[in-house]
Amino acid sequence: MDNSLNGRKALVTGGASGIGAACARALAARGAKVVVADVDASGAAALADELGGTAWTVDLLDTDALGTLSLDCDILVNNAGIQKVAPIEEFNPADFRRIMALMVEVPFLLIRAALPHMYANGFGRIINISSVHGLRASAYKSAYVSAKHGLEGLSKVTALEGGEHGVTSNCINPGYVRTPLVERQIADQARVHGIPEAEVLAKVMLTEAAIKRLVEPAEVGSLAAWMASDDAGMVTGASYTMDGGWSAK
């Protein structure tokens, strides 16, 4: 049994489902005590019970409340995210601001809240769930692509500031992952591309990848658990692609 994270406390945002839940399970399996943070109270509680962790029901878009937050976690996984697919000229500015807040401002506020504890202990792992869209652009995703590019920059600055304190900061950059977030995109992708929903995977989501399948959440969770370990102590400021070769082009 791998108990490499025994004694570590992890916080996973958007932890009740999808990639967040996979990360929470992978960290708990290696001995970490996991806080599952999600707006979905019942989902967070159910997973926390399964893992022997705790649930934090939180609306992360209430950013004012995060400004005075103090976190005592050793591992922070910034995973919470939303998506909106539309041409720029039709993109609702309120949706753009909401995506930027949740996926750039919130990670900044949580990192800010966690660093004092990490610095004091000489250990910390910031794991930012980015995307291939943090490295490559796609049409109709102006807010999501902008937010993920912003998260990449935040992660690198955190790496530079945290290095002397034993804190690493990295991004995981998956392609399309088999999650509810991706499933909810299918109708929007079909609409903007003018194709049937049944053709979205083959004609939109997987066209750029050499490996023609969705990423499984557990694959992302496995990489996150390694990044949290002592074995990854010299890995910082990096962006690890898990995109089936999409970014190789």
The two structure tokens encoding residue 144: 């999501």
- 76 - beta bridge partners? 11, 126
The residues carrying an active-site annotation are 144
| First-to-last C-alpha distance (Å) of the chain | 39
Dist. CA 174–CA 55, nearest whole Å: 26
- 124 - beta bridge partners? 167
Contact predicate 63/109, CB 8 Å? yes
Q: CB atoms < 10 A from the CB of 225, how many?
A: 26
Coil, helix or strand at residue 239: strand
Dist. CA 174–CA 130, nearest whole Å: 7
Dist. CA 160–CA 224, nearest whole Å: 20
